[in-house]
Amino acid sequence: MIPPELLLLAVLFAVNRLVLPRVLQNAPVFWLVNALDVAGAVYIYVRGFPGMEDQTAVRLLIGTLLLFHVAQNLSLRARERDRVEMAGKLRAARLAAARAHTADSPGPSAEPPGPSAEPPGATGAD
């Protein structure tokens, strides 16, 4: 049977790699996962991984890997925020360009004269 601590660690790694990148904009989930990573790293640094408390290399490797996930998650969130910000700026620039284009082009009130309109140069006085 798989030890529960190892299963919990595997679930935390899976959440970091599979779930968190899809919910970067959901702040409570994002910060909860990062808090779990930090708490797990501190626990493993202080107490060691259950069943391997005397293995310093395992303690350092797993604790550092959890802290690496925190750094990676923060980087992903910053990139996502920058992407959303740039998309907003691009959308605003396109909208401004479209408005400028419509302001320069003749609108529906400047239609060419039809057959019922007076010819150019006619004053209406005979």
Span 2-31, pLDDT tens digits: 888 889 999 999 999 999 888 888 889 999
Q: What's the pLDDT band for 107 if we cut at 50, 70, 90?
A: low
Residue 116, pLDDT score: 60
> Taking phi first (over 0 means left), then psi (-120 to 50 degrees means alpha), and beta for anything else, what does residue 13 get?
alpha
Residue 106, pLDDT score: 61
CB atoms within 10 A of CB 69: 23
Q: What's the pLDDT band for 40 if we cut at 50, 70, 90?
A: very high
User: Scanning the structure block, which residue is given the tokens 């302001």?
Assistant: 103
Domain boundaries, the chain: 25-84
Report the distance separating Cα 29 and Cα 8, nearest Å.
17
Query: By three-state DSSP, how is residue 105 classified?
Result: coil
pTM: 0.66
Residues, the chain: 126
Q: Across the chain, how many H-helices and E-strands are there?
A: 3, 0
